[in-house]
């Protein structure tokens, strides 16, 4: 079943409601998808506000221009989402332990998010912005970070030898995150 420009509010979704559907221009406010499985769903131009995706599994789900605001996406595996036109944005969301491996996330915006211990291995993050994000123990390995903006990000460790970083932006106070692997003492 397809849905167009619908608003879903304070809904506890059941697995049956989320099978093989397309949601175009829909807004989900204070909805829970916790412990559910997304099977062959498509979210095009959708907004998720104050939603809970705890323990949600995804199988061939498409997020095309999806915006997540104040959502709980702890451990969500975006790496298994449909690649075609994959585009997401995050504001004030919990993305701890999320998986983004091998995704094309050019110019993705992360604003005021907790992205602790997430995995971006092999991800294209060129032009991405990590504004006021906590990146504690997040893995950036074999990533394209060219022109990415980390100026207000904190607690990151990025190895310049294992990532493409031409034109990436960092603030002076955060340079230690680029040098941590060299075990230098920075005062």
Residue 98 and residue 118: Cα distance in Å, rounded? 5
Residue 9 CB contacts under 8 Å (≥ 6 apart), including other chains = 28, 29, 30, 31
- Exposed, middle or buried: residue 30 (CB in 10 Å: 0-12, 13-18, 19+)? middle
Pick the CATH number of 96-181 from 2.60.40.10, 3.40.50.970, 3.40.30.10, 2.160.20.80: 2.160.20.80
* Fold classified for 1-94: Pectate Lyase C-like (2.160.20)
Task: Specify the pTM.
Answer: 0.93
Q: What is the pLDDT of residues 64-98, one digit of tens each?
A: 999 999 999 999 999 999 999 999 999 999 999 99
Rounded to an integer, what distance in angstroms lies between the CA atom of residue 3 and that of residue 26? 7
> Which residue ranges make up each domain of the chain?
1-94, 96-181
Give yes or no on whether 1-94 and 96-181 have one common fold: yes
Q: What is the pLDDT of residues 114-152, one digit of tens each?
A: 999 999 999 999 999 999 999 999 999 999 999 999 999
């Amino acid at each position: 079943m397809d849905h167009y420009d619908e608003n879903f509010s304070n809904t506890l979704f059941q697995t049956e409601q989320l099978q093989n559907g397309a949601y175009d221009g829909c807004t989900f406010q204070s909805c829970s998808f916790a412990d559910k499985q997304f099977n062959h769903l498509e979210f095009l131009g959708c907004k998720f506000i104050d939603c809970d995706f705890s323990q949600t599994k995804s199988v061939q789900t498409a997020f095309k221009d999806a915006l997540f605001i104040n959502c709980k996406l702890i451990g969500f595996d975006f790496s298994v989402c449909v690649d075609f036109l994959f585009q997401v944005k995050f504001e004030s969301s919990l993305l701890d332990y999320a998986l983004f491996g091998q995704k094309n996330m050019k110019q993705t915006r992360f604003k005021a998010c907790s992205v602790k211990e997430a995995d971006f291995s092999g991800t294209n993050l060129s032009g991405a912005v990590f504004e006021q994000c906590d990146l504690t123990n997040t893995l950036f390995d074999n990533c394209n970070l060219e022109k990415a903006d980390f100026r207000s990000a904190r607690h990151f460790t990025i190895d310049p030898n294992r990532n493409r970083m031409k034109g990436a932006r960092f603030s002076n106070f955060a340079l230690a995150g680029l040098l941590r692997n060299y075990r230098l003492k920075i005062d």
